[in-house]
Structure 1
Amino acid sequence: MSKIYVIHENSEWTVHLTNRLEELGLPYEEWHLDQGTLDLSTEPPEGIFYSRMSASSHTRDHRFAAEFTAQVLSWLEYHGRTVINGSKALQLEVSKVLQYLELNKGGVKTPKTIAAVGKEQVIAAAKGFEGQPFITKHNRAGKGLGVQLFQTVDALKAYVNGPDFEEPVDGITLIQEYIYSPESYITRCEFVGGKFQYAVRVDTSEGFELCPADACHIGDLFCPVGEEVEEKPKFQIIEGFNEEIITKYEGVLAANNIKVAGIEFIRNADGDIFTYDINTNTNYNSDAEAKAGKFGMLELAKFLGEELRKTGLLV
């Protein structure tokens, strides 16, 4: 029987999807690709393949999961299988440089960013932001890896040459202008099937690193989801969100054959939108969804079921 194959390296982030697949009675199989083998003389099984490979896989001791997945996706695509979030999506998942280039190509404004390799080059690049606050982040990120705010180049120099400097897994550090949001929040737009589902307002008063996954904890420095506070929840779905930027986002996703994503933006004091992240391994916050009556993983499971039916292979 044909199946939905879910490619990933983190069961904690995937169980919410498989629960929905079971709820809908859809056949599926997990491919946990933190390690494995790939026999190029064989053909893949029939079915559709959905990749949830994460840019932060190396932080879970799955150092080469993304690299191995890239080979598996190429093999699937070579044999003409239906792949949701395939090779192009993974390329963007592991490179913010590529994300920004594709966003700019689609007419989407991103913060001024310089990519640098080498500590001296990081410091030199930051001089282009002299007199204004700036942040650093990892090119291959996820979970807010390497995000630090600096007011001066001297402060960056002390960090880069100190014991707390985080070396990016791909060696590329991004130096980026800091976009000040007077209301201390960012907006995350969720897409399934390449179409907008809903937008989430995310409180940033506790830091930059904001992950909606239920599996993240407040004790994780890089992913402070936080506890729900009755009068000010960290994650809140925005009713009636209908910004013009959504059409551009859908265009960027279509141009890169990305069907499932969360795209994040911030507004400055003038109300201008700056987009800074495309997450193709998107997660959803259950508390926010329950309050709004909207469920991302359910919509994703329905979408995968429809894609499987389109192949004519679902019995």
Structure 2
Amino acid sequence: MTSDAAVYVLHDNPEWIPPFARAFAAEGVELREWPLGTGTIDLDAAPPAGVFWSRLSASSHTRDAEGAKDAARATLTWLESWGRRVVNGSAVTALEVSKVAQHAALRRAGFDVPRTIAVFGREGLKESARSLEVPFITKHNQGGKGLGVRRFDRFEDFDAYVDGPDFEVAVDGITLLQEFLLSADTFVTRAEFIGGRFAYAVRVDTSAGGFELCPADACAVPENGVAAEPLFRLRTEVGPQHPLITQYEAFLAAHGVEIAGIEFMETRDGRTVTYDVNTNTNYSPDVEAGVDDPAGRRVARFLGALLAEQTAAAADVAAVR
């Protein structure tokens, strides 16, 4: 591995990179951008030396990056075939871009998950909805940003939505119908993990209605078409020894996920429901400013250490030769 090896961040949204660029600069680790969905790769040529961090977003298609998902799959497979160190590699993309995959993996691991029905296309939506109680919500299988998230209090309103011009077609054609959960308090929790280990937990305030009663991604169920801004702060009583956190760490290890946020809700009927695994996690500036060891810098140190390991290993091989 050459001395100019770096950490490469594969991404589909340049607007999310500046906070990480500052964190990496503060830790003295070089970060190079690798935009997804553009450019070419020579499958018979070796990739550059370094560590490769995938930040593919499930909502990439909403930002003029429709090809990012397939580009990520192809690029990560190519990198892995050459033995490059990849963080959140090709197998992890299946979790990022599919809530069906997340639900199946979480359920199999023993977590309480929301009752969910996956419907392919429009046909069958109205009939399938009758399997749930009202109210219920819809969401897109490949989501993020609250894509397709709507609440319905009457089947008749849902029928009109499905048949009407405002129906939101999911990019992969899969609409999810999901039970509507009542939160025990006006917040949901997001636990952040770096290098597969717990970093901190964030309490997401939903008192303004952004998340209230909604087991959704880090997004708001729109109220009259306007999503309220959630408020973020540390949830200090959720720490590394919390039983749920240790279970999450085991889950991430089993699926090869090294950097992620996992969201859960504590309901009024005593359930703790896990509903989202986000392998493209971003960090709240308010939270980051208030912690001794910000997550952005922890990511930089984690990836920088991997890069140092790769560089040292390459140097040892070169010395033997």
Task: Indicate whether the TM-score tops 0.5.
Answer: yes
Q: Which residue does 2:237 correspond to in 1?
A: 240
Letter in 1 for 2:48: P
Residue identity opposite 1:113 in structure 2: T
Contact 1:7/1:49 (<8 A) preserved:
yes
Give distance in 2, aligned partners of 1:14 and 1:91: 23
Q: Is 1:31 the counterpart of 2:39 in the alignment? A: no
Q: 1:271 matched to which residue of 2?
A: 270
Tell me if structure 2 keeps the 8 A contact 1:111–1:176: yes
- Identical aligned pairs, as a percentage? 45
Backbone CA RMSD of aligned residues = 2.0
Tell me the residue number matched to 1:170: 172
Displacement of 1:141 in angstroms is: 0.3
Q: Name the counterpart of 1:304.
A: 303
Q: Displacement, 1:291? A: 2.9
Distance 2:217 2:264 in 1: 12
Paired residue for 1:97? 100
Aligned runs of 1:222-237 on 2, under 5 Å? 224-225=228-229, 234-237=231-234
Match of 1:16 in 2: 19
Q: Are the counterparts in 2 of residues 56 and 140 from structure 1 also a CA contact under 8 Å?
A: yes
**Highest CA radius of gyration, 1 or 2?**
2
Q: Which runs of 5+ in 1 are unaligned?
A: 213-217, 227-233
Q: How far apart in 2 are the matches of 1:224 and 1:60?
A: 21
Deviations 1:41-76 (A, max 9, x none): 111111110001100000001111111111000001
Give the Cα separation in 2 of the matches to 1:184 and 1:165: 29
TM-score by length of 1: 0.90
| SS of 2:185 mapped into structure 1 | coil
Structure 2: stretches of 5+ with no match in the other structure: 316-321
Size of the aligned set, in residue pairs, is: 300
- 1:161 corresponds to which letter in structure 2? D
Q: List per-residue Cα deviations over 1:196-253 (Å, max 9, x = no partner).
A: 11111112233247649xxxxx9xx686435xxxxxxx11111131331111111111
Residue 115 (structure 2) pairs with residue 112 (structure 1): yes
SS at match of 1:252: helix
1:54-203 superposed matches below 5 A: 54-130=57-133, 132-203=134-205
Question: Quick one: distance in 1 between partners of 2:159 and 2:69?
Answer: 31
Relative to structure 1, the CA distance from residue 179 to residue 257 in structure 2 (aligned partners, 3 Å threshold; closer, same or farther) is same
Q: Aligned partners of 1:211 and 1:290: how far apart in 2?
A: 20
Q: Residues 244 and 263 (structure 1 numbering): CA distance in 2 closer, same or farther, change over 3 Å?
A: same
Separation in structure 1 between the aligned mates of residue 218 and residue 17 of structure 2, nearest angstrom = 15
List, as ranges, runs of 4+ consecutive aligned residues in structure 1 with deviation greater than 6 Å: none
Q: TM-score, normalised by structure 2?
A: 0.88
In structure 2, how many angstroms separate the alpha carbons of the residues matched to 1:267 and 1:259? Answer: 25
Distance 1:160 1:296 in 2: 41
Larger deviation, residues 68-77 vs 285-294: 285-294
